[in-house]
């Protein structure tokens, strides 16, 4: 016999409540990365006169490196394989390379083709790349760990 719907909804609500701290940490790290990206982009493109696509690529790379360290050691500390694991960093960079392409294409279309301000185009590109990055980081860069006894992904965070 099936349990009432309200009982079946509890596990989903519990998962959301348990996932919220990770999402909040990812968001804080993301905002720090956006601030760094926008600052470097503004400095290089507006102050130093560099082409906006070159400035954006450099700004993205700097923010990616900082965000990896913060996410690996804070947001996904329970899923990491070390304080700075080269394999994790390479997976992170591979995912973010796709995000960088998304960002640069949107920036070029908005600023180069449509004539919108480059700063706005960069911000919209960052937002689109964030969706790409988070989706792939959750399943590939920092996947859930398998439980030792069953080989099934652990539902709750594991502590090292």
Who wins on pLDDT, 79 or 9?
A: 79
Residue 28 lies in a domain: yes
Residue 77 confidence (pLDDT) above 80: yes
Is 78 inside any structural domain?
yes
- SS3 percent helix, strand, coil of the chain, rounded to 5, is 75, 0, 25
pTM comes to 0.68
Domain that holds residue 20: 5-141
- Does 152 reside within a domain? no
The number of distinct structural domains making up the chain is 1
Higher pLDDT, 12 or 36: 36
pLDDT of residue 108: 95
List pLDDT tens digits, range 21-74. Answer: 888 898 899 899 989 999 999 999 999 999 999 999 999 899 989 999 998 899
Q: Which residues contact 123 (CB under 8 A, 6 or more apart)?
A: 34, 38
Instruction: Dump the DSSP string for 85-153.
Output: -HHHHHHHHHHHHHHHHHHHHHHIIIIIIS---HHHHHHHHHHHHHHHHHHHIIIIISPPPBPTTT-SB
| Residue 147 domain-assigned (yes or no) | no
Q: Which of 119, 7, 127, 98 is nearest to 56 (CA)?
A: 119
Q: What is the mean pLDDT of residues 2-20?
A: 60
Domain contains 153: no
How many of the other CB atoms lie within 10 Å of CB of 22?
Answer: 19
Q: What pLDDT digit, counting tens, does each position of 85-102 carry?
A: 788 889 889 998 999 899
């Amino acid at each position: 016999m099936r349990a009432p719907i309200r009982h079946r909804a509890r596990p989903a609500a519990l998962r959301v409540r348990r996932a919220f701290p990770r999402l909040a940490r990812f968001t804080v790290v993301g905002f720090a990365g956006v601030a760094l990206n926008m600052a470097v982009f503004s400095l290089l493109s507006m102050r130093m006169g560099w082409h906006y696509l070159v400035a954006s690529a450099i700004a993205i790379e700097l923010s990616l490196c900082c965000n990896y360290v913060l996410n690996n050691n804070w947001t996904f500390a329970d899923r990491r394989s070390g304080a700075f694991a080269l394999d994790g960093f390479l997976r992170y960079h591979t995912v973010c390379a796709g995000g960088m392409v998304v960002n640069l294409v949107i920036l070029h279309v908005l600023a180069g083709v449509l004539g919108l301000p480059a700063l706005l185009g960069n911000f919209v590109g960052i937002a689109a790349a964030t969706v790409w990055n988070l989706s792939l980081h959750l399943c590939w860069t920092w996947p859930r760990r398998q439980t030792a006894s069953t080989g099934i992904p652990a539902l709750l965070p594991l502590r090292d």
